[in-house]
């Protein structure tokens, strides 16, 4: 397993592939985008495509990981999204960040969800987010089953679920957000819940689709 420097053409092709894949996946209906198309759009051969990304799933994961980087960076920034601050607020800010991320990347995430059993829950980014949710829930709602609740909250922001609620059921993103926050609010302190949008919606993350950016993919001599 060579981890060393990548040849210039290889790095260039990796970029081309990731960019082309991201664009095609965003266009629509990820299921219908074939590896052939991606290779062609990226201007590389199929062999090259599969040399960089061993299979379909790992390509999708790579595209998504890059998108997730923005969110992960913010997690290490200042509160409320970053560590520290009041537990309940930290939890709600986190949920907002997650929902915004999912919303911005929903078609891609749907692709990931479809790409194999359990990859949605089992992939590293998800595990990180669930763990973080669990931590914040445990802080905000001691005495409850934080682990279970974290999984449910994370399930509640699954791309296909959110997409279905929005597209097929006509729920606004704000309504979904409000519901999510209500779900996360400790039973003890929950107000009557005004069924509208009482939540602050603070940080909002704004990962958006992002123009890919590269920022030194091959650090090499790190």
Residue 10 near DNA by CB under 7 A: yes
Site for DNA in 27-66 (CB under 7 A): 33-37, 43-48, 50-52, 54-56
Residues 6+ apart with CB under 8 A from 154: 98, 121, 126, 129, 130, 133
As given in the structure block, the two tokens for residue 12 are 């260039």
Size of the site for its own copies (CB under 8 A): 41
Cβ neighbours, 10 Å, residue 103: 20
Conformational region of residue 14, where left means phi above 0, alpha means psi within -120 to 50, and beta covers everything else: alpha
With beta carbons less than 8 A apart as the criterion, state whether 16 and 44 touch: yes
Position 23 contacts DNA (CB under 7 A): no
With respect to its own copies, which residue has the nearer C-beta, 81 or 162? 162
- Determine the distance from the C-alpha atom of residue 197 to the mean position of all C-alpha atoms in its chain, rounded to a whole number: 24
* 1 binds DNA, rule: CB under 7 A: no
- Which of 29, 37, 55, 86 binds its own copies (CB under 8 A)? It is 29
Cβ atoms 82, 75 nearer than 8 A: yes
164 binds, among its own copies, DNA, none (CB under 5 to 8 A by kind): its own copies
> Is 122 a residue that touches its own copies (CB under 8 A)?
yes
* CB contact at 8 A, 99 and 202: no
- The nearer residue to DNA, 107 or 165, going by C-beta atoms, is 107
* 135 lies in the site for its own copies, by CB under 8 A: no
As a whole number of angstroms, the distance between CA 102 and CA 104 comes to 5
Q: Which of 69, 173, 55 is nearest to 119 (CA)?
A: 55
Task: Name the binder of 46 from DNA, its own copies, none, CB < 5-8 A by kind.
Answer: DNA
By CB under 8 A, tell whether 114 contacts its own copies. yes
Q: Which part of the chain contacts its own copies (CB under 8 A), choosing from 71-79, 110-118, 203-211, 212-220?
A: 110-118
- Angle (nearest 5°) at CA 207 between 44 and 102: 85
Q: Where on the chain is the footprint of its own copies (CB under 8 A)?
A: 29, 31, 110, 114, 116-118, 120-122, 143-145, 147-149, 151-152, 155-156, 158, 160-161, 163-165, 168-169, 171, 175-176, 178-179, 182-183, 185, 187, 190, 192-193, 195
């Amino acid at each position: 397993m060579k981890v060393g420097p990548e040849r210039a053409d290889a790095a260039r092709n990796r970029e081309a592939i990731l960019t082309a894949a991201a664009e095609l996946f965003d266009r629509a209906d990820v299921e219908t985008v074939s590896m052939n198309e991606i290779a062609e759009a990226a201007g590389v051969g199929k062999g090259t495509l599969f040399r960089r990304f061993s299979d379909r799933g790992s390509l999708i994961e790579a595209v998504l990981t890059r998108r997730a980087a923005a969110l992960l960076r913010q997690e290490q920034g200042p509160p409320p999204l970053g560590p520290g601050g009041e537990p309940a607020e930290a939890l709600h800010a986190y949920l907002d960040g997650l929902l915004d991320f999912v919303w911005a990347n929903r078609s891609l995430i749907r692709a990931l969800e479809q790409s194999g059993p359990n990859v949605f829950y089992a992939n590293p980014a998800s595990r990180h987010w669930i763990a973080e949710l669990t931590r914040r829930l445990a802080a905000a709602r001691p005495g409850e089953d934080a682990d279970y609740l974290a999984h449910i909250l994370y399930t509640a922001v699954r791309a296909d679920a959110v997409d279905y609620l929005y597209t097929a059921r006509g729920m606004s993103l704000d309504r979904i957000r409000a519901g999510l926050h209500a779900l996360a609010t400790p039973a003890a302190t929950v107000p009557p819940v005004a069924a509208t949008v009482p939540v602050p919606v603070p940080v909002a993350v704004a990962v958006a689709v992002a123009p890919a950016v590269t920022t030194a993919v091959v650090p090499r001599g790190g």
